[in-house]
Structure 1
Amino acid sequence: MINLTGKVAIVTGGTSGIGRAAAIAYAQQGAKVVVAGRRVAEGEETVRMIKAVRGDAIFVQTDVTQASAVKATIDRAVSTFGRIDIAFNNAGVFGESASLLDQTDDEYDRMMNANVKSVWLCMKYEIAQMIEQGNGAFASGGTTCIVNTASILATIAMPNIPLYVASKHAVVGLTKATALQYAKSGIRVNAVSPGAIATEMIEQATGGQDEAKAYMAGLHPIGRLGKPEEIANAVLWLSSDAASFVTGETLMVDGGFVAQ
């Protein structure tokens, strides 16, 4: 049984999909949750859903590609709840399908800012706060922790989305290097790599076409798309003291995709 009572968790990209599912899961296990994202209505809906399960949460509108916005979000979390014990850096975007020759400077900047710079900025300010709290430790004696969202495409590759593939490989590199640097500070850093999950991103990738979604589901040995809650369960475990000896790891939650 995972118990996060008394802990404070921040979730970026918490307005829908995996981020929303993780925010709710944290709250159900007793954590106070800071939901961060760009879309106000959707973020406030996540907070309402958390309060419906008797959780405690706030929404902070955030552009995770901007240092000032990230710092302001961390400051708001601390001023509201007093500390940060857990961070799930989940915000990111998916790219349009195109050959490398057809991709533009603007698309490169958009992809790297949303998927790589955002993770770097979030960890920069989260870790600074965790260290300031004292030895990066939970009040109950465990470690503080960060989980970053990578992808199966952080391990393998597919054609026509080279910038997305590169950005997710970079997330794993950032995760490993940061885990090594701050292990002795009592801060664990891991990543989760989802397969194809039934979220808005899959709707975008498939153009909402049932045939395309069925094809994508069939690529997974389990034979279906994953559910946001299934990724949230893995994130919850990585965020808890049940994973106290796990750092620098990338956990595949992919229905067997990468094992093929």
Structure 2
Amino acid sequence: MYILDLNYTMEKYEETLVILDIGKNEIVFACKVRNINFDKFAKLVYYGISIDNEENDNEFKLLNVLIEKNSSMFLKKDVEDSDFYFYARKYYEMHKYQFRQDTFSFYAESVKNFTKKFKIGFLACESFNPLISKLNNLPFLEVNTALSTNKLDLLIVDTNVNCQQIDQLCENVLFISKSDSEVNIGPLIKVDDFRIPELSDSYETPLFESELNLVSLFLERISYIVLFSLYDKITNVPYLPNRYILRLSRSTLTLNTDELELIPNY
């Protein structure tokens, strides 16, 4: 499996395809392209293709030529590694316009040194349990449902769960809850910096698969940027007390946010 090294990204300007070295902020490859579906081509470049692939589409042909002529820009990965690099690339492309140069260098080094899954805790009522397997399937997470003396990188906890000395259990805590009308995600709190606020109780109501899929997606995104230490770097406001609760309407599956002001730990 060949994928573009995370140090490079692609852009398309009219009929010109450009590959940039992100760290150096310079163009390292450019060519004229016609009859190319850029979205399809980008997926092949970023997320993998076998060099022996026999597809005859223009996108496959161009990619094979690109790998031949610029092999140093591509990484050869097995399927297991490529699963992790899928997320590494996905979240870089999602947030790249918020990255400063030093942020990218930090992120690229974190990805390069990633060797074992982050340990997160998950304590919630039974109807949230299907989320455990969804999160465990992510190549960067190991989900624990029983607490131990080992400090967790992140704890996802139902607002109904009474956790004593939460600051000794984890560095970051993310609250979840639900009612008949909505599912709530947040706030996310760095426990050394802010006090835990009083939050609404959660109700033991069944969740539909569509709701679970959306909640899982938000938990994945929040977990990734927190565990790779990107939250503070992207928001640039780590010490401001304002945090947010995402409120997912169960009737329309639309999302709203409520702002919450936390009290700092002095």
TM over 0.5: no
Between structures 1 and 2, the one with greater strand share: 2
Which of the pair has the greater relative contact order for Cα pairs under 8 Å at 6+ separation? 1
TM-score (norm 2): 0.34
Q: Which is greater in Rg?
A: 2
